[in-house]
Amino acid sequence: MLKLPTVCTHTCKEYCTALELAALREKEAILEYGALRDECSYPDVKTMLNELIIERKKSIELLERTKEAIRTKFEILDQVREGFET
């Protein structure tokens, strides 16, 4: 697998590099498993690859939920900070 450079700015406010790269890798895996499945003629292997695709999609959903939770937390922290500044 291609090693992508990871540069974490530790700000996470609008963009988390780790979550974005993880989601990208999951999407790439889905494409690869789909291509392998399409080339395969053995039913058990096709079924297993379909299950892997489903699990990767669940992982992407978890990553998106986590990203949204982080964004929401930073929004709340910003509102609290702004409350002290006014």
Answer yes or no: are the C-beta atoms of 17 and 6 closer than 8 Å: yes
Profile the chain (86 residues) by mean pLDDT over runs of 10 residues.
58 73 96 97 97 98 92 84 79
Tally of structural domains, the chain: 1
The pTM for the full model equals 0.76
Which amino acid appears at position 10 of this protein? H
Residue 7 located in a structural domain: no
Spatial separation of the C-alpha atoms in residues 79 and 76, rounded to whole Å: 5
Answer yes or no: are the C-beta atoms of 30 and 56 closer than 8 Å: yes
Residue 70 located in a structural domain: yes
Residue 49 located in a structural domain: yes
CA 51 to chain centre: 18
- Residue range(s) defining the domain that contains residue 29: 17-85
Spatial separation of the C-alpha atoms in residues 30 and 57, rounded to whole Å: 8
